[in-house]
Every structure is written in C-alpha cells, then in structure tokens.
C-alpha cells in the first residue's frame, strides 16, 4: 500500500500585523483629507461664488507634485520611511489646526486655502512614495496584489465616506469642526505608526553622499533602462489623462439629461464599484499575470468608458460606471505590484515619485484640455446643424451633451487602443517574466530593530 502524497501547505492568507496597522492609519488620514478638501472647496465656493477660484485649488495641488516629486523620491530612499510618514502626519495636523484657528478668528483668506493646498500636496509627494515603497517591506512578494487591493479599497472607502460625512458634518457643525476632525485623523495615523516597524533599506553609501537631485536622476535612468516598466508607465499615464478628462466631463454629461441628485447617485454607484473591486483583489490576489491586470483590464475599461457616451440614459451610464470603477483597483494594484517587485528596494521611492510626476502631469493636461475641447469644439459640432450632426449625430444623437458623449467615446476607445498597442510589445507583455529585484524579506517583529 503506497503512502498518501504529502499535503501541500496552505497558502497563508493573513497579511502582516504591521501592514494592516499602517493601512488603517493611512486610510483614516485619507478619510480626513477628503473631509477637509470637500469642506474647503465648499467654503471657497460660498465665499467667492467663483468656479475659477475653486479650480485654482486643483492647480495649487498639482504643481508641487509635478515639480518636487523627484526630489522627494530621492529623499524617501535616503531617509527612514517611517519617520517620513510620521513627520507628514504631524505637519498635516498642524496645517489643519492652523486653518481652523484662522477660520475661528475670522482671518481666513482665499490665499490661505491655496497655500495649505500646495503645502498638503508637497507633503503628499513624500507620503505617497514612502507608503507604497514600505508595502513590500511588510508583506511577502506573493501577497503584494492582495495588499495593494486593500490599499485601493481604503482609497475607495475614503472617497465614499469622506464627502458623505463632510456634507453631514457641515450641516450639523461649522467648518472649523470638520478641519479639527481631519487633524485628529492624522493623530490616529501617527499612533498607528508608533506601533509598527518599517525596516530600513540599505542604500549605497556613495548615493547617500551625493546630491538628492543626482539620486533622483538615477531613478529616472533606471526606469528608462527598463523598457517594460517605461512602457507600462506610458499606458498608466495615458489612463490617468483619460480619467482626468472624464472626471471633468461626467457631471456636465449627466446634467445634460438629468438632475444634480442623480449626479450624486452616479458618484456613489461608481464609488461602490471601486470599493468592491478593491475588496475582490484583496480576497483573490488579482490576475496571476499582473501585466494582464493592467493591460487587459485597461482595454476593457476603455470600452466601458466609451459606452458612457453612446446614449443619454442614466441606467446605461450607471451600469457602465459601476463596471468600470470595479476594474480600476485591478489595474492599480497590478501596476503597483509590478513596480514593487521589479524595482530594487533602495530605488522604489524615486521610481514611485517619477510615476507620480507622470500621473500628475497627465491629469493636469487632461484638466486643462477637457473644458475648452468640450465648449469650443465637440459640443458645437453636435448641435442642431453642426458639422457632425448629420453623420455622427445620427448615431449618438444631437443636442446638449452629445459633443461630450462623443468625447467619451473617443477617449475610451483611445484608452483601449493604447493598452492593446502596449500588449503587442514583447518587453511590456512579458514584464512578469522579468527577474524580481532582490528585496528584504518581511521582518520578524521579535528580531527586528525599531526604525526610530
């Protein structure tokens, strides 16, 4: 009688305690940030009555990320990442507290809001790469997609809970209370950081003596020398350009045939899709080949985005929006997992900062182009008697919002085409087969030294 085959060890599903605590703290501070950004935006609109003044807050937020992210990434690789996160939390709490004091004393001015938006964005150029580069130090390589799925679930929860909670709090208390709650969420994040250990990454001594700008260029050079990563970054950047255009135009598209209440319902539906998609990645680990998670889901997502523009029906857009947003965590988690596994640990801060620059520049371009293209090109072409009224208009209709609908069709199909084109490039399609960078194993808490 032959002996039964040995049992295969079960795959461990639990993520590390330190990662979970880190994630909880970052999610709480993310909810607080959504609270304060919603409240401050509403304060600017109520105070000035100007959408242009409101839009300047987005510009103030985008500029530091574009210009300072490379330097921040180099410093993230040089400094203790846990201390960076703690410092960002302390300074963010102080900024919110200062705004609350200015508002209470009646001295808050519009320029204060712009300045705090810029400073908060500057802190985020340190916080984001430090957080993402810490994830592979706290979880095993085969758990990276699940961990990143949880990260995006937290972002989705913050995007849903933050505005909803802000609207309730503003109705029941003053703006100062909302800002103080945001400050408290950073204190919660600070407390969770005090309970964890993030291992230090050994860097090269000559790099630590060099200028941070020179170190930043080494990160850029590394990405440029990896055709798979640089190609993936182009696809990911184009995706963000497309979504920036769509985020500006989705409300005008819906308002062309429905009411503001239904716009809010659509946002909530999309947020639920984002949350469920992130939870699905957390539970399943996402696609086995992570490049498929980026490229194949980008192709499908582009088709769903194009579907937003084919017919002015709320139910159609709601279904497409839910499906599209449920795919975004798969794309994001797969992309981050590839970068975390293929980029050496001592370069990850710089490489994630370079990714931040590309994404923010892409979104800034999308924000700038969406309005003028809609108002002066596409909408006029699909009015009654417009240039495309008798051709494209016979398919998707004519009248208010149909030019925006055509923009959704075009940017969605272009997103699918860019992902398909990348999939045909061997160096991008085979990036999963590229040898993983050597990274330290997630630490044993009983043996690890504290990082500060």
Dihedral of CA 53/55/57/59: which sign?
Answer: negative
Indicate if 303 and 378 belong to the same structural domain.
yes
Where helices occur in 79-109 by DSSP H, the ranges are 81-105
Q: What pLDDT does residue 448 have? A: 40
Is residue 336 domain-resident? yes
Does 142 lie in the same domain as 226?
no
Residue 405: give its domain's CATH number: 1.20.1250.20
Contact by Cβ (8 Å): 141, 318:
no
| 286 touches 153 (CB < 8 A) | no
- In the chain, the number of structural domains is 2
What is the 3-state composition of the chain as percent helix, strand, coil, each rounded to the nearest 5? 80, 0, 20
pLDDT at 209: 58
List the structure tokens of 88.
């960002």
Is 31 inside any structural domain? Answer: yes
Which tens digit of pLDDT belongs to each residue from 369-418? 888 898 889 999 999 999 999 999 999 999 999 999 999 999 999 999 99
Enter the tokens of residue 176. 């100062």
Half-sphere exposure (Cβ direction) of 408: Cα atoms closer than 13 Å: 29
Question: Based on C-alpha coordinates, what's the Rg of the chain?
Answer: 23
185 and 247 fall within a common domain? no
Which secondary-structure segment (H or E) carries 10?
Answer: none
Do 276 and 325 reside in the same domain of the chain? yes
Q: What is the pLDDT of residue 50?
A: 64
What pLDDT is attached to residue 18?
Answer: 92
pLDDT for position 212: 67
The answer to whether position 210 is within a domain reads no
Whether 124 maps to a domain, the answer reads yes
Helix (H, G, I), strand (E, B) or coil at 385: coil
pTM of the model: 0.75
Q: Establish if 85 belongs to a structural domain.
A: yes
pLDDT of residue 52: 63
Q: What is the mean pLDDT of the chain?
A: 84
Residue 184 maps to a domain: yes
Domain membership flag for residue 6:
no
CA distance 79 to 304: 42
Sign of the alpha-carbon dihedral angle for 277, 282, 284, 290: positive
Across 396-429, b (16+ Cβ under 10 Å) vs e yields bbbbebbbbbbbbbebbebbbebbeebbebeebb
Q: Could you say which residues of the chain have pLDDT below 70?
A: 1-14, 45, 50-52, 54-55, 163, 202-213, 260, 264, 438-452
Provide the domain limits for residue 356. 218-436
**Residue 319, φ and ψ in degrees, nearest 5:** -65, -45
- 183 and 232, same structural domain? no
Query: How many other CB atoms sit within 10 Å of the CB of residue 377?
Result: 13
């Amino acid at each position: 009688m032959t002996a039964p085959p040995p049992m295969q060890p079960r795959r461990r599903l639990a993520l590390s305690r330190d990662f979970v605590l880190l994630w909880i703290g970052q999610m709480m501070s993310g909810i607080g940030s959504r609270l304060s950004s919603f409240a401050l935006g509403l304060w600017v609109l109520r105070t000035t009555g100007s959408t242009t003044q409101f839009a300047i807050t987005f510009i103030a937020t985008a500029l530091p990320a574009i210009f300072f992210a490379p330097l921040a990434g180099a410093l993230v690789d040089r400094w203790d990442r846990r201390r960076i996160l703690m410092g960002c939390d302390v300074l963010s709490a102080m900024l919110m507290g200062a705004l609350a004091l200015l508002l209470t004393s009646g001295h808050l001015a519009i320029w204060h809001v712009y300045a705090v938006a810029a400073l908060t964005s500057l802190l985020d150029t340190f916080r984001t790469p430090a957080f993402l580069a810490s994830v592979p130090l706290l979880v095993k390589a085969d758990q990276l997609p699940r961990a990143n799925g949880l990260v995006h679930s937290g972002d989705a929860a913050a995007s849903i809970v933050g505005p909803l909670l802000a609207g309730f709090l503003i109705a029941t208390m003053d703006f100062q209370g909302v800002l103080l709650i945001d400050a408290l969420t950073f204190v919660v994040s600070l407390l969770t950081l005090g309970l964890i250990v993030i291992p230090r990454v050994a860097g090269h001594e000559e790099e630590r003596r060099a200028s941070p700008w020179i170190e930043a260029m080494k990160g850029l050079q590394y990405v440029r020398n990896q055709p798979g990563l640089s190609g993936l970054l182009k696809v990911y950047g184009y995706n963000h350009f497309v979504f920036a255009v769509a985020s500006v135009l989705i409300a005008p598209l819906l308002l062309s045939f429905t009411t503001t209440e239904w716009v809010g319902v659509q946002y909530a539906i999309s947020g639920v899709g984002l949350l469920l998609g992130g939870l699905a990645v957390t539970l399943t680990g996402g696609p086995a080949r992570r490049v498929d998670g980026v490229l194949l889901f980008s192709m499908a997502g582009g088709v769903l985005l194009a579907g937003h523009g084919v017919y002015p029906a709320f139910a159609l857009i709601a279904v497409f929006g839910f499906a599209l947003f449920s795919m975004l965590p798969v794309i994001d988690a797969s992309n981050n997992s590839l970068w975390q596994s293929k980029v050496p640990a001592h370069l990850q801060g710089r490489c994630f900062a370079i990714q931040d620059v590309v994404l923010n520049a892409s979104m800034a371009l999308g924000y700038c182009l969406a309005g003028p293209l809609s108002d002066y090109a596409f909408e006029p072409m699909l009015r009654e008697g417009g240039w495309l009224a008798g051709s494209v208009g016979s398919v998707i209709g004519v009248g208010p919002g149909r030019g925006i609908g055509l923009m959704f069709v075009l940017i969605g199909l272009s997103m699918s085409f860019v992902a398909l084109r990348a999939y045909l490039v061997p160096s991008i399609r085979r990036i999963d087969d590229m040898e993983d960078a050597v990274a330290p194993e997630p630490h044993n808490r009983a043996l690890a030294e504290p990082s500060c």
